[in-house]
Structure 1
């Protein structure tokens, strides 16, 4: 028997790709009640009073790299320079670049403020319905069913259905706009998911996949398009720190900080768009907003280390409010104790908990699988595979973009391996008799052609019989936070005081809320980037006056 030494497989990137304040300026006291006002009046604020309990008193021993919070709570008065624009966009990821392109093509002068020295890019699949990629492949998605599924699974009907319907109804148009923009500069996109029914769950073929280019290859062309009109200025290493709010409550600009440490005021005649992403690299905010179990992550995979929730805090400071706690986040299974992940475990192999008992339908979507694993004792499980894994893989995952040998390589990189199940049970400190009983039952269900215990489709099951036997200590992988400032169906940031839009302020992408509550639904593919594209396109047109808000 042996214990495999951990290493990061060359497949890692591909396997995972598929997350207070005062008034803005001295003399500018907003009429809307922000969180500082609530504290002053003795009223309770959910951000100050929420305590999220856990039955196991979890204390994660692994956190993501800490970013630098750019948000400034106290009024900034030492302004070194003032610049004039029609619109200021805070953040240059996919959402920010899309809204800038939409604004620029419709005649607006735009400033993009980006915290880092380059644009932010994660992922490669963008959700759309009724676009020409789907049409060319003969895939038609029922919009009403899609919306109903998203409302029930993503938010338990706590989400803003108007926002979701706006996204769904405009996504095809927005995707075609994107494809016209990038043209032949990228590889031809395809659909990343087959639409299918597994265990009563519809896996929607909603994702247009740019897998050969990734967002890192798409965003530069979007930015080139935005700048081609001669009206878009991009300011790297210039983080937005504070919003400018007039006594009327209207947002009229942003104060940002240069690399020299000076504050520059960017006035925005027509509005400000927050597109600052999530808060994956702000540990204090993660502790405050997420379930303790969801923080028991083996890996944090968002590559933008400056996603610290600056847009969230700026919006709160001018009277906005967030989705209620606990926030949900975008997670996957397959995390390892060595803070990476094993791609092969994205497959539906047998899982047992720390007591050696099977506990789940292994064929459910990735987010549900991650939630189920996180809900076990210790927020982890053991994934079991036998020596016939190379024969199982083509059957349980026939459309995988990697060979069975490549997938086995990622599994072997971080696993226990033994010639007998008794030896394996001893290595992973699980009761052997319970483990053997669980495996025998699982194998018998496979042989009978029906999983009566959990409903996993037999085609997705992999019996455990042939040595050597593998066990991987599996926990959660965190991709992105997806909750944020509550918005209207047109992505206008809502006021905490009167639940009406704060004039001149919009939020798109992962800084925005109102779309997810219970979970981020992986079976509804690529909604995170999909909302960046669609609402960026729509908001740009609304601000430009090309169309009226719904």
Structure 2
């Protein structure tokens, strides 16, 4: 989060608050996603997802759980992942509705995609990728074409048989990637809503110092949750 570097927590720690359980609530997003919210919503559907090595690494059906998926992406090279679909799958979503429905990304976005893709191309935005073939896509993703093709072929075989033999994704989410109409790819990065925890408190939500388990009188006037 640009400009926000934990000043509140740092002030509490400097005042004597006991450090405890500081972590973040992970999510995943397209960079500058408010400018590309439509595409962010369309491409975060449970289609083929790979890391920079061209490998799947989780059940894409969990993409609706942003915390789980954000943590999984954080463990990948570069802390990002590519979610891949094609326009045949997009047409299915336009006609029948998406696999994952949420209150942040409206279903109407599936019919408003092209102007946002055009804006991304004009702006040189690197997190929305389009390609007409696997070879072109491999070049744009900087993944060996043979590796990308094998990953797609393996995934398509699971779609043909209605069984994901790697991560056991819900068969309802197995949509074959044919490349019809061109590929659409979102480069999603791990991100965070904000910090979770950071200082130890008692049952009255009063901040504890590092010297004893009781409430620090020196903190009484300035620090409360």
Number of paired residues? 203
Separation of aligned partners in 2, 1:478 and 1:399: 18
The match for 1:336 is 31
1:435 deviates by: 0.8
1:417 to 104, 126, 130: 130
Note if 1:447 corresponds to 2:160. Answer: yes
The match for 1:384 is 84
Note if 1:397 corresponds to 2:97. Answer: no
1:467 deviates by: 3.1
1:107-126 equivalences in 2 (<5 Å): none
The match for 1:363 is 61
The structure-2 alpha-carbon separation of the partners of 1:332 and 1:390, relative to structure 1 and needing over 3 Å to count, comes to farther
1:476 deviates by: 2.1
User: Does structure 2 retain, via aligned residues, the 8 Å contact 1:334–1:343?
Assistant: no
The match for 2:123 is none
1:339 deviates by: 9.1
1:136-535 equivalences in 2 (<5 Å): 281-282=4-5, 308-310=6-8, 312-324=9-21, 327-336=22-31, 342-364=40-62, 365-388=65-88, 389-392=90-93, 394-398=97-101, 401-403=106-108, 404-406=110-112, 413=120, 414-465=127-178, 466-503=180-217, 504=220, 507-508=224-225
When normalised by structure 1's length, the TM-score is: 0.34
Separation of aligned partners in 2, 1:481 and 1:329: 4
Separation of aligned partners in 1, 2:201 and 2:113: 41
Which of structures 1 and 2 has the larger relative contact order (alpha carbons within 8 angstroms, sep 6+)? 2
When normalised by structure 2's length, the TM-score is: 0.76
User: Does structure 2 retain, via aligned residues, the 8 Å contact 1:381–1:475?
Assistant: yes
Larger radius of gyration: 1
User: Does structure 2 retain, via aligned residues, the 8 Å contact 1:334–1:345?
Assistant: no
Separation of aligned partners in 2, 1:409 and 1:483: 41
The structure-2 alpha-carbon separation of the partners of 1:407 and 1:366, relative to structure 1 and needing over 3 Å to count, comes to farther
C-alpha offsets along residues 86-127 of structure 1, whole Å, 9 cap, x if unaligned? xxxxxxxxxxxxxxxxxxxxxxxxxxxxxxxxxxxxxxxxxx
C-alpha offsets along residues 101-154 of structure 1, whole Å, 9 cap, x if unaligned? xxxxxxxxxxxxxxxxxxxxxxxxxxxxxxxxxxxxxxxxxxxxxxxxxxxxxx
More helix, by proportion: 2
The structure-2 alpha-carbon separation of the partners of 1:438 and 1:423, relative to structure 1 and needing over 3 Å to count, comes to same
1:399 deviates by: 5.5
1:65 deviates by: 3.5
Gaps of 5+ in 2: 121-126
The match for 2:124 is none
1:316 deviates by: 2.5
Aligned-partner SS, 1:356: coil
The structure-2 alpha-carbon separation of the partners of 1:426 and 1:65, relative to structure 1 and needing over 3 Å to count, comes to closer
Separation of aligned partners in 2, 1:447 and 1:354: 25
Gaps of 5+ in 1: 1-63, 67-280, 283-307, 509-550
Aligned-partner SS, 1:463: coil
The structure-2 alpha-carbon separation of the partners of 1:340 and 1:494, relative to structure 1 and needing over 3 Å to count, comes to farther
Separation of aligned partners in 1, 2:167 and 2:114: 26
The match for 1:146 is none
1:407 deviates by: 5.8
1:424 deviates by: 1.2
Separation of aligned partners in 2, 1:398 and 1:317: 44
